[in-house]
Chain A
Amino acid sequence: MSTPVEYLKVSGLHAFYGESHVLHGMNLVVNRGECVSLLGRNGAGRTTTLRAILGLTGRRTGSIMVNGEEVIAMATHRIARLGIGYCPEERGIYSSLSCEENLLLPPQVGSVGMSLDEIYQMFPNLAERRHSQGTRLSGGEQQMLAMARVLRTGAQLLLLDEISEGLAPVIVQRLAQIIHQLKEKGFTILLVEQNFRFAAPLADRMYVVEHGQVAAEIQQHELEQKREFLQEFLGV
C-alpha cells in the first residue's frame, strides 16, 4: 500500500463571522484520493469549515495547506485556482444564467476536467435542460448541475456541502453512485453531510465536529464499534 499524501491539512483553524467566533481550532487532514466526511449537528461548524478553507468567512487564523501550499492569507479566487471545486449547501445556481452557462462558468483549475460530452453522459437530464434558466431546474437537477459544474473544471479536491439535502431517495442514490465513480477516478473529497446513512458507506474516514472543532475521528472499519458514540452525537 502506498504512503498517504496529505492533500488538505487544516491546523488550529479559527474562523469568525464578524464578532462571532465560529471555528475554535479545527484540525483535519484529507489525503490524496480519500473521501472524508465531516459529521455533526447543525451549527457545529462543518459548513463554516468548508467556507473557511476557501476564504469565504470573515477573519481566519491558523493554517490551511492545500497540496503543500499555505492558503490562509490567499484571496478566495487564488485558493480555488489551486484545484478546488466547491459545491455549496444552497447549490449556488445562478438564475441569470442558463443551465449550460452555469456549467461553463467556472474556469479550468486543473488539467483533467471532464468534457461537456462526458458531463452530459454522466448527467443526461442536464443535456435535455441545457437551455433552461438555471433556477428553473428541479432540486435534483440543480444538485446535479452544481456537481457537474465542479467536475468540468478539473478540480482535484472537491468540497461538497450537504449535497443530499432535500432530495428524493432515488436522486440521493444516484449521487452516491457518482461519488463512488469519483473516488475510483482518484478525486479527493471532503464531504459535509447531515445524512449519516448517505455519508457512512462513502467515507474512508469521518470527523465528528462539535463546537467548531473536531470531537472525534472515526475510520470506516470502526463504524460498528462506535455506533453508540455516534448516536449520542448525531442522534441517528
Chain B
Amino acid sequence: MEIFGIPLQAFMSQLMLGLVNGCFYAVLSLGLAVIFGMLNIINFAHGAMYMAGAFFAWMGLTYWGIGYWWSLLLVPLAVGLVGVIIERTMLQWLYQLDHLYGLLLTFGLALMIEGAFRYFYGASGLPYSIPEELGGAINLGFMFLPKYRAWVVAVSLVVCLATWFVIEKTRLGAYLRAATENPRLTQAFGINVPLMVMLTYGFGVALAGLAGVLAAPAYAVSPLMGSNLIIVVFAVVVIGGMGSIMGSIITGLSLGVIEGLTKVFYAEASSTVVFVIMVIVLMIRPAGLFGKEK
C-alpha cells in the first residue's frame, strides 16, 4: 500500500520519527514558554540544560551505576537544582532590564556549559543504551513501532498535559498566571512571588533535563546536542507565541510531524521547513499562533 507514491511503512516510520522529534520540541519549548511567561527571560541556556540532562544520565550510569529509571527521576531534580542556583545567583538581577540582557547572559552560560562538557568528553557522541524493558518493537501490521519511541511520545504527552493542567486549572497555576501578569500586585496579596519565580525557573529547566534523559538512548549523548536543537525549539516558541503554554505543546508536536513528513516528500527542505513556517507566521501573526498581542 502507498500514500502519495510513498510506501506506507516508510511514510509511517517518518511520521513516528517526526512525532518523537515533535515531543522533544514540545517539552523543551514548554519549558522555555513557562520561563519566558513568568520571568521575561529568553533562556538561551535551555539547550545546554537539555544536554546536561543527557550527560547527567550518562554519567550516572557510567560512574555510579544509576540506571535509566532512576535517572528519569533524579536527573530532572539535579538539573532543576542547577537552574535554581543560576536563577538565585545571576538571573534575579536582570528581571527589571530589557530581554536582551537575560538572553546574553543565558547565551554566555550555554557556551560555557557546552565548552566545559566538550573539554572533558570531546565532541563525538557517547552511547547510552535503551533500557531492556523498552527494547525491541511492536508489530502494528502496517509498521514496526519501536517501543522506546512510543515511550518517549507517551511520557512527553503526559508531562505536557500535566503542566498545562497545573498552570491553567489549579490554584497554583492561578498564582503563576497572576504573578506573570502583575508580579508586584500579586506579592502585595501575600503571595511569595520571588519563591515562585525561582521554582518556576527550576521547573522549566528540569523539563529540559527530563527531555535530555529521554533523548539519551534515542540519540548519541553529545555536548552539541543542545545547540543543534535549541534554534529549532526557539522557532517553535516563536510560532506558538512567546509564553503560550498550549501554543508550545501543539506547535512543538505539529512541527515535528511536519518536519518528518517533509523528509518523506522533499527531504532537501526538511531542515528549513520550520523556519519557513516561522517567517510566514511572523508576517501574518507577529505574536505567534497562540500568543496574545500586547
Contacts and interface: CB of A to CB of B under 8 A. Distances in A.
A54 B188 contact: yes
A94 to B, nearest CB: 5
Interface residues on A, range: 20 to 34
B79 to A, nearest CB: 28
Interface in B177-227: 177-178, 180-182, 184-194
Contacts, number: 59
A86 B174 contact: no
Contacts of B187: 75-77, 80
A182 interface: no
A107 B191 contact: yes
A35 to B, nearest CB: 21
Contact of A77 (B171, B180, B182, B192): B192
Contacts of B189: 77, 80, 86, 105-107, 149, 153
B254 to A, nearest CB: 24
A92 interface: yes
Interface in B232-264: none
A94 B178 contact: yes
A149 B186 CA distance: 12
Secondary structure at chain B's binding surface: helix, strand, loop or mixed? helix
B178 A105 contact: yes
A92 B175 contact: no
A153 B190 CA distance: 10
Interface stretch (A96-104, A163-171, A208-216, A220-228): A96-104
B188 to A, nearest CB: 5
B190 A109 contact: yes
Given A77-B188, A92-B182, A94-B177, 9 more contacts: A76-B188, A77-B189, A86-B185, A88-B185, A97-B177, A97-B178, A105-B175, A106-B190, A153-B189
13 contacts: A75-B192, A77-B189, A77-B193, A81-B190, A86-B188, A86-B189, A88-B188, A96-B181, A97-B174, A97-B177, A104-B171, A105-B175, A109-B190
Interface of A: 54, 56, 75-77, 80-81, 86, 88, 92, 94-97, 101, 104-107, 109, 149, 153
Question: Lowest 10 A-B CB distances belong to which pairs?
Answer: A106-B189, A80-B190, A96-B177, A76-B187, A81-B190, A92-B185, A77-B187, A77-B192, A86-B188, A54-B188
